[in-house]
Amino acid sequence: MSAGPQKHSLTLKGHRTSVSLEAEFWRAFRDIAETDGKPINALASEIDSERAPGVGLASAIRVFVLRRLTDR
């Protein structure tokens, strides 16, 4: 198990932002982006545009990853 969340930089709509994710979530997120044939920034932008107000980007990514992994 990882030690805790680590910051990763992403570019969303031309702006740099950082997201804190545990190594396991980050690895799964990158794998999903690769499987979908999308750059990780593009996938993060999709998640960002679809998340509900008040939901943090890191939380939205975690839920996205969990849903993708459990839908299989």
Residue 72: its pLDDT value, please?
59
Name which CATH class applies to 6-70: mainly alpha
pLDDT computed for residue 47 by the predictor: 96
The packing angle between helices 57-70 and 23-36, to 10°, is 60
Query: What pLDDT does residue 2 have?
Result: 59
Parse the chain into domains and list their residue ranges: 6-70
Q: String of b and e for 33-72 (b: at least 16 CB within 10 Å)?
A: beeeeeebeebbbebbeebeeeeebbebbbebbeeeeeee
Confidence (pLDDT) at 13: 87
pTM for this model (two decimals):
0.90
* Residue-level pLDDT, tens digit, the chain, 72 residues: 557 899 999 999 899 999 999 999 999 999 999 999 999 999 999 999 999 999 999 999 999 999 999 985
